[in-house]
Amino acid sequence: MAGQDFDFCVSRRLFLAGSASAALMAGISPRLALASDRPALPIPAEMRADPAGTIKLSAQASTMNFLPGVATPTYGINGPYLGPALRVRRGDTVNMDVRNTLAEPVTMHWHGLEIPGDDDGGPAEAIAPGATWKPSLTIDQPAATCWFHPHYYPSTAELVLKGLAGLFIIEDDDTDRLPLPSTWGVDDIPIIIQDRRFNPDGSFFHRFNLAAVTVGYVGDTVLVNGAINPVASTAKGWLRLRLLNGSNARSYQLAFSDDRPFYVIASDGGLLAQPVRMNSLPLHAGERYEILVDARDGSAFDLVTSPVMQMAMNLPPFDQTLPVMTFSPDGAETEGTMPDALATLPPLSSSQDLQTQDLKFGMNLDAEGMGLFMKAGLPKMRAGGSTDPEIAKAVEQVILEGPDLTQEAQLSANNINGVSFALNKVNFDLPIDTDLRMVFSEGTDKMLHPVHVHGCQYRVVTVNGDPAPEYMQGWKDTAAISQGGTVEVQVRFKHPATAEKPYMAHCHILEHEDSGMMAAFTVS
Ligand code: C2O
Ligand code: CU
Ligand code: CU
């Protein structure tokens, strides 16, 4: 179905009762009460190229009522918040037509696509207010759930936070041959998870202070497709959930309230070899997984996120499990099912002497900065796992009131291989059509960095020296290093990127990306 606007009609039903809202903020255990005052899950409209092969996108300013009776200023793509779910097929060439109607510059990056640097929409491809950018994308990679968002330096975090992001779904014949659930919004359901925090006037909170460049943005409210704690009325059958962590920084540890198992069938860049049974799945900023969950018995269940240890501390609200949304499989029975085998993945190169590119993610917090942060409550945060209101208050203070940085300090707060990102500077060069090894590691801090590389889908070989867990063995473009760990990947770039329009490798914590933790590279 061709659709232009992100369908938000349903979300107008969003009247989160005070008690429910308070419960959500306090992070009490999930409940299954299908209160009539909860919003229905908004389903982004699918959008295909028009008969001329063009997809028209327009970044625009708007408002949304996330909270009862309060208008939040937002940005959206073809709608008030987020964007349509683009649908393209392997083998297609689509003409993108990206118009910027905002009062500030943007770029539009196709996250996960294997396309040349010229079409990639990185920081070098600014779209000025009123201008239109028209790259033509030739799709040649397996079916996958990718996404798109701005990449303007240094305001990506703010632009994405305000709502500029959407799904970019690639289809292919191999996937169509499988009996997977595939009715959009019925048993094939997009789940874009983001955390937000609201100022008293309803606007989104965002500040580039010490807390932001250190831990990234930490919200206190979870949105799914732009709705708070929504309910999805789905088919009574197998459900395919396309999970995207579209948050600026927060990681999730997803599970179902009744602990029912689910099956990971795809990662960032496409199908796994076979379904991987799990009960709990980590989802870091920028990552996607597709999972199948058996809802044939028709009983309702919640998607929840367990406490997450991130940046050597438990994120607020500490040891609480947060409800994300509820599934109510009360619709018609559907046919979609789980195949035993999904895709054939090429074997990894067995060569021991691949050219290696190291990416070491570091932070430049000086003693004074660190001292401020320590004084502001880091040791207390690190104590984590506590519901002590004192600690909660200290954490809130760091996030809300931590000292602001000058832009100069912001831009040099973080680095890769000791160098903070600079426009018009290439940090390294890689050969095209060559198997390469990349090693992501951390500097001195016990931080978390979801590492994303443009222009490719890589394969994770080891995590902290061990073979990658099964669910990470497929195509990936984002993989997290944490707690001083190391991730080793194998990759082969099929397209060139020039010094004028280089690819980026960066931390997908957008506040880290906007504060130096990004490197530009060419492929030739
Ligand atoms: Cu999703 Cu370089 O970004
Ligand atoms: Cu990307
Ligand atoms: Cu980071």
pLDDT tens digits along 364-404: 876 666 665 666 556 655 555 455 667 667 777 778 887 78
Ranges 117-126, 209-218, 258-267, 455-464: which has the least confidence: 209-218
- Is the Cβ atom of 288 under 6 angstroms away from ligand 1? no
What is the tally of helices (H) and strands (E) in the chain? 9, 36
Structural contact between residues 323 and 24, judged by C-beta atoms closer than 8 angstroms: yes
- The average pLDDT across 491-513 equals 98
pLDDT digit string (tens) for 154-189?
999 999 999 999 999 999 999 999 999 999 999 999
Model-level pTM? Answer: 0.92
Residue nearest to atom 3 of ligand 1 (CA): 111
- DSSP state, residue 127: B
Domains (ranges, CATH) in the chain? Answer: 19-176 (2.60.40.420), 355-364+406-523 (2.60.40.420)
pLDDT digit string (tens) for 140-151?
999 999 999 999
Q: At 234, is the pLDDT very low, low, confident or very high (cuts 50, 70, 90)?
A: very high
Atom of ligand 1 nearest to the CA of 504: 2
Q: Would you say residue 7 has pLDDT above 50? A: no
- The average pLDDT across 483-509 equals 96
Q: Would you say residue 74 has pLDDT above 90? A: yes
Quote the CA–CA distance of 315 and 309 in Å, as a whole number. 6
Kindly give, in sequence order, each residue whose CB lies less than 8 Å from that of residue 220, ignoring residues fewer than 6 positions away: 25, 195, 197, 316, 317
- Is the Cβ atom of 437 under 6 angstroms away from ligand 1? no
- The average pLDDT across 23-34 equals 40
The structure tokens listed for 164 are 């500029």
Q: Would you say residue 212 has pLDDT above 60? A: yes
pLDDT of residue 310: 72
pLDDT digit string (tens) for 239-295?
999 999 999 999 999 999 999 999 999 999 999 999 999 999 999 999 999 999 999
DSSP H helices, 360-488, are 367-376, 378-383, 389-401, 407-411
pLDDT of residue 15: 25
- Is the Cβ atom of 109 under 6 angstroms away from ligand 1? yes
Cβ atoms within 10 Å of 516's Cβ, excluding its own: 25
What is the pairing mode between strands 301-305 and 270-278? unpaired
- Is the Cβ atom of 284 under 6 angstroms away from ligand 1? no
Ranges 10-24, 66-80, 153-167, 311-325: which has the least confidence: 10-24
> Ligand 1 centre from 92 Cα, in Å?
22
- Is the Cβ atom of 454 under 6 angstroms away from ligand 1? yes
pLDDT of residue 396: 76
Q: Would you say residue 5 has pLDDT above 70? A: no
The structure tokens listed for 197 are 């925090």
- The average pLDDT across 177-206 equals 97
Q: Which residue has the higher pLDDT, 210 or 92?
A: 92
Strand runs labelled E in 139-280: 144-149, 166-171, 188-196, 221-224, 227-228, 231-233, 238-245, 252-256, 262-267, 270-278
pLDDT of residue 388: 65
Structural contact between residues 295 and 238, judged by C-beta atoms closer than 8 angstroms: yes
Q: Which residue has the higher pLDDT, 68 or 11?
A: 68
- The average pLDDT across 503-513 equals 97
Atom of ligand 1 nearest to the CA of 147: 1
Quote the CA–CA distance of 287 and 112 in Å, as a whole number. 10
Q: Which residue has the higher pLDDT, 364 or 455?
A: 455
pLDDT of residue 319: 62
Q: At 312, is the pLDDT very low, low, confident or very high (cuts 50, 70, 90)?
A: low
Beta bridge partners of 192: 244
For the chain, the average pLDDT equals: 89
